[in-house]
A and B are shown apart, each in its own frame.
Chain A
Amino acid sequence: MNEATSHAGSVSVQHAHDVTGMPTKVHAREVTVHYGEKQALFGVSMDIPANSVTAFIGPSGCGKSTFLRCINRMNDTIDICSVGGRITIDEQDIYDPSLDVVQLRARVGMVFQKPNPFPKSIYDNIAYGPRIHGLVRSKSDLDGIVESSLKRAGLWKEVSDRLSEPATGMSGGQQQRLCIARAIAVSPEIILMDEPCSALDPISTAHIEELIDELRENFTIIIVTHNLQQAARVSQMTGFFHLGKLIEYADTGDVFQNPQHSMTEDYITGRFG
C-alpha cells in the first residue's frame, strides 16, 4: 500500500510518457506455460516499468492473456496449467512456494474482459476486498475507502446516491468502472486489465481510457487489448505477442512508428491478425 503511494510521489507529470528512468516493477525471465500437452507460451522475458501503462497486443490466441494471468497467478486456478521460468515483482519471486498467492493477488489486482460485479450492492462490491483483507477497523474507514475508490474510478458522482442498489443494474461501462474501483479498493501495486473495453461502447471506452491514464500515477498498469489505437493511446510500453512468443517489446512510440520486426509491422498495418 505504502509503496504505491511512495511511487506516486516520484512521478512527475512532465515526464509521464518517459519511462526509461522508471524502476522495474515486474521482471519476467523465460516464462513458459503449458496447458496439459500444449505449450501456450515460449520463453517470454520482459521488464515492466513501474507507474506506467504497458500494453500487450497480438492476434487472438497469441498468449498475451495467458502471460497476463501469470503475473497474479490466476492460471493456478486451471488444473492442467503449468508455469515455468521466473517472474519477480519488486525482486520477489512470485512462484516461490512460500509466497501466499492470496496476498499476491491483493498486490496485483485484476480487471476482466467482461464486467463481473458481484450480484450485491455497489457498496458491498467495493467493500468486499478491504473487508476480507481486514484493512478496515470501523464502518467509517470502510465508507472512506468506498468513496475514495469510486472517486478515483470516476464513478462517485453517478452512484453516490444509490450505493445500496445492486451493481448488476448499472450500465456496462459503469460496471467496468466499478470493477476497476473494486480492484483499487484493496490498494494494489499493479492492476492487470484483460481487454477491459472489449464489451463496451466507444463513450464508455473513452471514460476507461482516461481513467487508466490517471491511475498510472499510482499504479503499474498492464493491459491486454485487441484495439491497437487503444494501445497507442494509453500505453507507454507495448509488447507484441504472436503464437506464444514475445516478438517485440519496446516503447509504444517505437513499436507503432518504427517496428523492428516485420511481423509487428504486418500486424500493426493490418496485414494479418
Chain B
Amino acid sequence: MSEIESAMSTPPRTIGQELMSEEGARRVRRRYRADARFRAYGIIAICIALGVLAILVGTLVSSGYTAFVQTQVRVTVDLRDADIDPADVRAANWRGIATGAIESLFPDLPQSDARVMRDMVSQGAPFIIRDAVMDDPALIGTVFDIEIPASDRIDQLNKGAIDRDSPADHRVVTDQQIGLFDQLEAEGRISTPFNTALFTAADSRFPELAGLWGAIVGSFYALAVCLVLAFPIGIAAAIYLEEFAPKNRWTEMIEININNLAAVPSVVFGLLGLAVFLNVFGMPRSAPLVGGMTLALMTMPTIIIASRAALKAVPPSIREGALGVGASHQQAVLHHVLPLAMPGMLTGTIIGLAQALGETAPLLLIGMNAFITAAPDSMLSPSTALPTQIYIWADSPERGFVARTSAAILVLLGFLVCMNAIAIWLRSRLERRW
C-alpha cells in the first residue's frame, strides 16, 4: 500500500530509473526470492511424492523379496519295492511312498516322531512325487532324488524369519525341528533356488505351494474381455458424441451421466454385475468373463472421456480442410480426425485397463475371490484375479503368505508399470505433429 502511495506522490519515473533506484532493486530481489521459493515448493512436492513411493516400494520389497526364493529339501525316493501300476500311476499309494521317503531322511528318529518328520517338508510332497513319476514313467522301480519344497515353518526358519534364540514356546518351530533342519543342511539337502512356483502354480492352502499363475490367467482373461467390450463401444460412443451427435438436451444429459459414471465407486459396478450378470442372466459365478464384463462397465466412461478429449484436441482446421475438398463428414472423421486422435485414445484405453487390472471391489462381489487351486482353462471356469489373489493371501494366517502377499503386489505393480510404459511408447510412436 505505502509503496503505491509513495509512487503516486513522486513524479513519474521511467522504468529504467525505477529499476536503478534502491527501491526498484529491492523489488527485483524480492521477485527473484519469490521465484526461488516457488521452485523450491515444486521440488519439495516432488521429493515428498518420490519419498512416499520409495517407502511403499521399499516396504514391499523388504517384506516380499523372500517370497521369490523357496527353501527345498532334496528327498531320496525309493520305488524299487513300490506297487505302481504303469497303466494307472495315479492310483498308487503315494502318501505312503512320500512318508517312507521323508522318514528315510532321518534314520535315527523313532517311528513315534513320524509327524515331526512329515512336518519338515510340504504336505504336497505325495503329489509332487506322483507328478514327477507321471511325467517320467521310467522312474518306476528306481531310486531317485527329488526337490520338495520345505514346509512353511522350515522355509521361514531357513530364510531367517524365525529367531532361533527366542524362547521355544514363542516360536512356531520346536528345538527338535531346528535340530533336524540343521542336520539336513549339514547333509547338503537344503537349497533355496528361485521360486518358480510363484509364477507357475495356482493358489494353494500351503504357502510353499501357492503361486500366482491362476490369478495371472484370470486377470488376463478378464482384461481381454474388458478390452474387447469397452474399447470399441467406448470409442464409438466418443466419436458419435464428439463428432456427430446434435447438441441438445438429450446428448447433454448423456454427457453428464458419462462423467458421473466415471466417478461412481467401483464397488457399485460390482453390485451391478452381481445383480444383472449373475442373478438376472444366471452367468457363472467367479468367471473371468463376468469379471471382464463388470470391469468393462467401469472402464468405459474412462475410455469415452479420454477419447473425447483426444478428438477435441484435433485442430478443427484439419476437419475443415477435409470438408473443403469435398470429403463427407464421415470421411473427414475417419480419414483425418481419428488417426490424429488415436494415440490419445489408445493411451486412455491402456490407462483405463491398468485401472481395471488393479480393481478389487467389483471382483469380490462377483465371487472372484474364491479359493481355486487350478488356473482357469476358459473364460467361464472359476478363477481369481491378481488383486483378489492379493486380498485372499493378505487374509491368510500362514507366515509364508505375508511375504507372498508383498511379492504378489510387486508382480501386480510390475504389470501396471509395463502397461503404462506401453501407453507412453504408443503415444510417442504414433503421435504426429500438425
Pair B326/A74 contact, Cβ less than 8 Å: no
Q: A79-B246, A79-B247, A116-B315 are in contact. Are A183 and B323 (CB under 8 A)?
A: no
Pair A112/B326 contact, Cβ less than 8 Å: no
Q: Which residues does chain A contribute within 8 Å of B321, judged by CB atoms?
A: 112, 116-118, 179, 182
Q: Which residues does chain B contribute within 8 Å of A79, judged by CB atoms?
A: 246-247
B299-339 interface bits toward A, Cβ cutoff 8 Å, 1 = contact, 0 = none: 00000000000000001011111111111110100011000
Pair A106/B340 contact, Cβ less than 8 Å: no
A100's nearest neighbour on chain B, judged by CB, is B328
Pair B322/A118 contact, Cβ less than 8 Å: yes
Interface residues on A, range: 20 to 34
User: A109 an interface residue at 8 Å Cβ cutoff?
Assistant: yes
Pair B320/A105 contact, Cβ less than 8 Å: no
Pair B317/A106 contact, Cβ less than 8 Å: no
* Nearest Cβ on chain B to A72's Cβ, whole angstroms: 7
A77's nearest neighbour on chain B, judged by CB, is B323
User: B170 an interface residue at 8 Å Cβ cutoff?
Assistant: no
User: B281 an interface residue at 8 Å Cβ cutoff?
Assistant: no
Contact among A80, A103, A168, A183 with B325 in the assembled complex (CB-CB below 8 Å): A183
Pair A186/B434 contact, Cβ less than 8 Å: no
Q: Which residues does chain B contribute within 8 Å of A117, judged by CB atoms?
A: 321
A184's nearest neighbour on chain B, judged by CB, is B325
Interface of B is mostly: helix
* Nearest Cβ on chain A to B432's Cβ, whole angstroms: 5
Q: A79-B247, A128-B335 are in contact. Are A105 and B317 (CB under 8 A)?
A: no
Q: Which residues does chain B contribute within 8 Å of A77, judged by CB atoms?
A: 319-320, 323, 329
User: B429 an interface residue at 8 Å Cβ cutoff?
Assistant: no
User: A129 an interface residue at 8 Å Cβ cutoff?
Assistant: yes
User: A110 an interface residue at 8 Å Cβ cutoff?
Assistant: yes
Pair A103/B320 contact, Cβ less than 8 Å: no
User: A133 an interface residue at 8 Å Cβ cutoff?
Assistant: yes
Pair B326/A106 contact, Cβ less than 8 Å: yes
B326's nearest neighbour on chain A, judged by CB, is A106
Pair B326/A105 contact, Cβ less than 8 Å: yes
Pair B326/A119 contact, Cβ less than 8 Å: no
Pair B326/A132 contact, Cβ less than 8 Å: yes
A111-133 interface bits toward B, Cβ cutoff 8 Å, 1 = contact, 0 = none: 11010111100000000110011
Q: Which residues does chain B contribute within 8 Å of A119, judged by CB atoms?
A: 318, 340, 432-434
User: Among residues 172 to 186 in chain A, which have CB atoms less than 8 Å away from a CB atom of chain B?
Assistant: 179, 182-183, 185-186
Q: Which residues does chain A contribute within 8 Å of B315, judged by CB atoms?
A: 116
Pair A118/B336 contact, Cβ less than 8 Å: yes
Pair B318/A72 contact, Cβ less than 8 Å: no
User: A170 an interface residue at 8 Å Cβ cutoff?
Assistant: no
A102's nearest neighbour on chain B, judged by CB, is B328
CA distance A117 to B433 in the complex (A): 11
* Nearest Cβ on chain A to B240's Cβ, whole angstroms: 15
Q: Which residues does chain A contribute within 8 Å of B327, judged by CB atoms?
A: 102, 128-129, 132
Interface residues on B, range: 20 to 34
Binding site for B on A (CB under 8 A): 72, 74, 77, 79-80, 102-103, 105-106, 109-112, 114, 116-119, 128-129, 132-133, 166, 168, 179, 182-183, 185-186
Pair A118/B246 contact, Cβ less than 8 Å: no
Q: Which residues does chain A contribute within 8 Å of B336, judged by CB atoms?
A: 118
Q: Which residues does chain B contribute within 8 Å of A118, judged by CB atoms?
A: 318, 321-322, 336
Pair B326/A129 contact, Cβ less than 8 Å: yes
Q: List 11 A-B contacts (CB under 8 A).
A: A72-B324, A106-B326, A109-B324, A110-B324, A112-B321, A117-B321, A118-B318, A118-B321, A128-B327, A129-B326, A186-B326
CA distance A102 to B325 in the complex (A): 9
* Nearest Cβ on chain A to B324's Cβ, whole angstroms: 4
Q: Which residues does chain A contribute within 8 Å of B318, judged by CB atoms?
A: 116, 118-119
User: Among residues 5 to 24 in chain B, which have CB atoms less than 8 Å away from a CB atom of chain A?
Assistant: none
B315's nearest neighbour on chain A, judged by CB, is A116
* Nearest Cβ on chain A to B320's Cβ, whole angstroms: 6
* Nearest Cβ on chain B to A169's Cβ, whole angstroms: 9
Q: Which residues does chain A contribute within 8 Å of B331, judged by CB atoms?
A: 132
CA distance A134 to B340 in the complex (A): 24
CA distance A74 to B335 in the complex (A): 19
CA distance A112 to B432 in the complex (A): 21
CA distance A106 to B323 in the complex (A): 9
* Nearest Cβ on chain A to B65's Cβ, whole angstroms: 48
Task: Across the A-B interface, give the 10 residue pairs with the lowest CB-CB distance, nearest first.
Answer: A106-B326, A116-B317, A110-B324, A129-B325, A116-B321, A105-B326, A119-B434, A119-B432, A102-B328, A79-B247
